[in-house]
Structure 1
Amino acid sequence: MNVQTRLLLTGTAAMVLLLGSPATPVTASAPPDPAAIAAVVESGLGPARLPGVAVALVEDGRVLHTAGYGHDANGEPVTGRTPMRIASLSKSFTALAVMQLAEAGELGLDDPVVRHLPEFAMADPRADRITVRQLLDHSSGMSDTAYPEAALAQPGSLRQAVADLRDAGLAADPGRRHDYHNPNYWVAARLVEVVSGRPFAEHLAQRVFTPLRMASTVTVDNWQDPVPGLVDGHNRFLGLTRPRAEPDRFVAGSAGIATTADDLARWLALHTRDTESTVLSREGLRELRRPSAPDGHYALGWDNPDPVDGPRQITHNGSSFTSTATMVLLPDSGYGIALMSNSRMPLEADVEGIMDGLIALTRGTPATGAPAPLALIADLTVLAAAVPIATAVGLKARRARAWARRRSTAAPWTTALRLLPYLLPLPVFAALPRILELVTGGRGVTFLLLSHIWPTFLAAVGVIAASGVLLLTARVRALLRLRPVRVPRPESADPPGTDG
């Protein structure tokens, strides 16, 4: 269950409070044809679904298909040459850059980070034991629960990002558990800078992008940094998709790459060719994809989830505030698929549905068709809960005087108990990010993030909280107006003609 699905389930529960067997693998007799690919992708496009999508498909190192579908935020057609953010898919590139240094003998994956990056220091002395591998498989002990980086001031450089960790602690012993945490890759990218002697972006450009002929691929420090040809994506509010700008977010090494379907196909070709390459050895590429984290799944910038009704996969997902991307390697068949969408929805079911359909095509089985538009359904669900609640509370507020007259003779403490529940939605709204972090396993949630991935839910909870405050205010004012006004009695005067 992905983070967005868990947020939907928790969001629905919050609204209430405020009131198979595995498939048998099939070998495709021929690669999917462009018309079949287009049919799968276009089933996920539309006003209630995704605005624009770009796809890359490779097999055993051969690029079979790249194309774009739909439109960007400016209304222009998406093509295989349209730049898009790939967010956390960038981690696989950072891991490869580190592996290049390891193969060159400039560092060891199991070396302590401080041996090669003396500036790396944390408030917890256990940080001295963190290895390079533990950064890359997120088992360093760093965590959003100990260092909520998304809610903090964003650094301006990799050097500053590492320096900011000096006051941070660890959530666990290094190597004990897997905690997905972006600063792991900030430190890894800074390590590349220091060991290679060149800026991180320059290292990727010279040692990765250029050899792979990824001419339209760049990496940035912040999602607000300009990229030629890159257009911000979309969010959905009240069931309608609308363009949104990316907010201030430091992403160097962790999520900073923008690329095209044409270029991402070359990246997939590298990983499906299973031979020596100009950027890394065959053994090095395999090591990147081999699980090493305590969860038994996460590798070095790649994940190895348990197969569910499908073939074995090596994959990674990523999301910016206005875009979504995913890539999948199918080692049993030699296929690789990448999918980029210029939107970030409350659920990623449309993106997942397209990927499932493309995987089905590679196996020679028909796609199951588009899933239900869950992003739209999610919005309608919270609206169906919030609108009646807000309407009912508004009607109660209009009848506040009649309510006050009925309560005018009641004991004050009983009246207070009747009013108190209307205040409860306010602290729930204020604590909403912390509540949702319980669902995401401690991953940082902020109001800024919620305003992009599910603004309808955030607005709905806010309206309910505001309605409760409005009703309480109206009833208290009505009670105060019913209280008798005591006029002070004038002091009696002495009768005329008497002595004072």
Structure 2
Amino acid sequence: MNKIASLLLFLLVLNNTYGQTTDLKLQEKIDTIINRYIKATNIVGISIGIIRNNKSYYTKGYGTIKLQTNKPVDSLTNFHAASISKLFTATAIMQLVEQSKLDINNKLIYYLPAFKMKDERVKDITLKQLLNHTSGIPDITDYNWEHPNNSKTALKHFVLPSRFSTLSFTPGIDIHYSNPAFDILGYIVERTANQSFEDYEYEKVLKPSGMTHSSFDLAKIEPARKSTPHIIDSTSKNVQISNVYPFNKEHSPCGTLNTCSSDLSKWMLEMLAIYNDSTNSYRGVIKRETLLQMWTPTHNIAYPGLFLCLAWWKRESKEYGNYFFHVGVDVGYSCSLTLFPDKGLGIVVLCNGDYPGLPVYRDIPLEIARLLTEKPR
């Protein structure tokens, strides 16, 4: 080998080694962030997925799938994703819009004539208002996790006939977070596609995105990959195993996606691939113009720089630029998914405890984002 070739080889090895060392140091810092919050909030198990520069960067599990066991969490450990599910329900709706089978500006009762209430204002609700929580459909507090209805007609029987008599407000004039609104949207998907909501989601949204370890049907998840939900005992204030798992097909569309950090990393990559497709050559689960429509603010809520879009939430930040996110919490679980599209960055955090709060929803993703976006000194 001549001297020039030897020098080129040396520089190539040096460059690769430097890059690996840099990444290892960053990943060690990420581990430090996660472990600090695990210790501070008594988290049993947590899994993260990070995409960077529009590529999968880091997926890892910490802790265990269940209290007082030694089975570790990994990137394929399954978690209840709670309200992150709404992003997938909204995507299904928008797929049907692209096929001209639905129009989000059309009235709800056009698609579901049997959806009736004593409140005549129900006739004014549009699909868009269901998507952005401005329909006036009240929320509920009891999801019947202890006695779920997992029959094939569960969703239909929850939605029809309407169990509400009065809207919380005139459609379109206010914002009120509504889980049943997304259950209604899921049933519209079911009727329009003429197949179960769970099957449609897997065939048309999850599988095409590479999310083959995920399902809205808990029975389809391999038992060995399931995590266990944890809560805080109201008396002792100690962490304990929940005696119920939050699953009920009546509420599949609003919050029963079961998934893992590996699969949600693929979902974030799918969203960024669509976002970056300026030539419209990428065949994604939705078109770029549809994603941009879903990311367009429809309302500015009470917090400066925070906007409500179609299922997604948008935050304007001087530090990170515009980013889009959704969080979720249910009995025994909490999670967050955050996308920074102009930085090619995405972070998902899944936790098998419902009690950490802001560390999962905000602090962990933003600390990691700060670490990965700050300029080297």
Q: Could you say which TM-score interval applies, normalised by the shorter chain?
A: 0.7 to 0.9
1:336 partnered with 2:359:
no
CA shift, 1:201, in A, is 0.6
Structure 1 stretches of 4+ with a deviation exceeding 3 A read 30-33, 151-156, 247-250, 293-296, 305-311, 346-352
CA shift, 1:335, in A, is 0.8
1:161 partnered with 2:158:
yes
1:180 partnered with 2:177:
yes
- Out of 34-43 and 301-310, give the one that drifted further: 301-310
Whether the aligned pair in 2 keeps the contact of 1:138 and 1:293 (CA below 8 Å) is no
1:286 to 288, 292, 306: 292
SS at match of 1:35: helix
CA shift, 1:183, in A, is 0.3
1:85 partnered with 2:80:
yes
1:131-280 matches, within 5 Å, as 131-144=126-139, 148-150=140-142, 157-220=154-217, 227-228=221-222, 229-237=225-233, 238-246=236-244, 250=248, 251-273=251-273, 274=275, 275=277, 276-280=282-286
Letter in structure 2 aligned against 1:123: K
Letter in structure 2 aligned against 1:361: L
Q: Deviations over 1:397-445 (max 9, x none)?
A: xxxxxxxxxxxxxxxxxxxxxxxxxxxxxxxxxxxxxxxxxxxxxxxxx
SS at match of 2:201: helix
1:67 to 49, 53, 60: 60
Letter in structure 2 aligned against 1:281: K
Q: Give the whole-Å Cα distance in 1 for the aligned partners of 2:318 and 2:241.
A: 34
Q: Give the whole-Å Cα distance in 2 for the aligned partners of 1:39 and 1:104.
A: 47
CA shift, 1:110, in A, is 0.6
CA shift, 1:164, in A, is 4.6
Letter in structure 2 aligned against 1:142: I
Q: Which runs of 5+ in 2 are unaligned?
A: 1-21
Structure-2-length-normalised TM-score: 0.80
Q: Give the whole-Å Cα distance in 2 for the aligned partners of 1:280 and 1:226.
A: 25
Whether the aligned pair in 2 keeps the contact of 1:119 and 1:162 (CA below 8 Å) is no
Aligned to 1:51: 44
Whether the aligned pair in 1 keeps the contact of 2:312 and 2:326 (CA below 8 Å) is yes
Check 1:288–1:308 CA distance in 2 against 1; reply closer, same or farther (3 A cut).
same
Aligned to 2:15: none
Aligned to 1:318: 328
Q: Give the whole-Å Cα distance in 2 for the aligned partners of 1:246 and 1:120.
A: 31
CA shift, 1:316, in A, is 0.7
Aligned to 1:37: 30
SS at match of 1:252: helix
| Number of equivalences | 331
SS at match of 1:253: helix
Q: Deviations over 1:329-349 (max 9, x none)?
A: 113312111110111116433
1:352 partnered with 2:362:
yes
Whether the aligned pair in 2 keeps the contact of 1:61 and 1:271 (CA below 8 Å) is no
Check 1:294–1:109 CA distance in 2 against 1; reply closer, same or farther (3 A cut).
farther
Q: Give the whole-Å Cα distance in 2 for the aligned partners of 1:189 and 1:38.
A: 37
Check 1:348–1:242 CA distance in 2 against 1; reply closer, same or farther (3 A cut).
farther
Q: Which runs of 5+ in 1 are unaligned?
A: 1-29, 367-500
Letter in structure 1 aligned against 2:266: R
Letter in structure 2 aligned against 1:174: P
Aligned to 1:376: none
Letter in structure 1 aligned against 2:105: D
Letter in structure 2 aligned against 1:116: Y
- Out of 353-362 and 193-202, give the one that drifted further: 353-362
CA shift, 1:87, in A, is 0.4
Check 1:116–1:328 CA distance in 2 against 1; reply closer, same or farther (3 A cut).
same
Whether the aligned pair in 2 keeps the contact of 1:83 and 1:230 (CA below 8 Å) is yes
Letter in structure 2 aligned against 1:278: G
Q: Give the whole-Å Cα distance in 1 for the aligned partners of 2:113 and 2:269.
A: 36
Q: Give the whole-Å Cα distance in 2 for the aligned partners of 1:260 and 1:36.
A: 22
1:105 partnered with 2:111:
no
1:95 partnered with 2:90:
yes
Whether the aligned pair in 2 keeps the contact of 1:139 and 1:293 (CA below 8 Å) is no
Q: Deviations over 1:273-310 (max 9, x none)?
A: 21233311111111122222463711122111354865
- Out of 71-80 and 100-109, give the one that drifted further: 71-80
Q: How high is the sequence identity, in percent, across the aligned residues?
A: 23
Letter in structure 1 aligned against 2:354: R
Question: Which structure's residues are more often strand, by fraction?
Answer: 2
CA shift, 1:351, in A, is 5.5
SS at match of 1:193: helix
Check 1:184–1:83 CA distance in 2 against 1; reply closer, same or farther (3 A cut).
same
Q: What is the CA RMSD across the aligned residues, in angstroms?
A: 2.5
Check 1:248–1:188 CA distance in 2 against 1; reply closer, same or farther (3 A cut).
same
CA shift, 1:88, in A, is 0.2
Letter in structure 2 aligned against 1:252: S
Check 1:271–1:93 CA distance in 2 against 1; reply closer, same or farther (3 A cut).
same
Q: Give the whole-Å Cα distance in 2 for the aligned partners of 1:305 and 1:168.
A: 34
Whether the aligned pair in 1 keeps the contact of 2:270 and 2:284 (CA below 8 Å) is no
SS at match of 1:165: coil
Q: Give the whole-Å Cα distance in 1 for the aligned partners of 2:247 and 2:87.
A: 19
Whether the aligned pair in 1 keeps the contact of 2:297 and 2:307 (CA below 8 Å) is yes
SS at match of 1:344: coil
SS at match of 1:297: strand
Check 1:213–1:179 CA distance in 2 against 1; reply closer, same or farther (3 A cut).
same
Q: Deviations over 1:100-150 (max 9, x none)?
A: 000011011111122122232222111121111111111111123xxx352
CA shift, 1:158, in A, is 1.1
CA shift, 1:195, in A, is 0.7
If you compute each CA radius of gyration, which structure gives the higher value, 1 or 2? Answer: 1
Whether the aligned pair in 1 keeps the contact of 2:133 and 2:178 (CA below 8 Å) is yes
Q: Give the whole-Å Cα distance in 1 for the aligned partners of 2:265 and 2:228.
A: 22
Whether the aligned pair in 2 keeps the contact of 1:50 and 1:350 (CA below 8 Å) is no
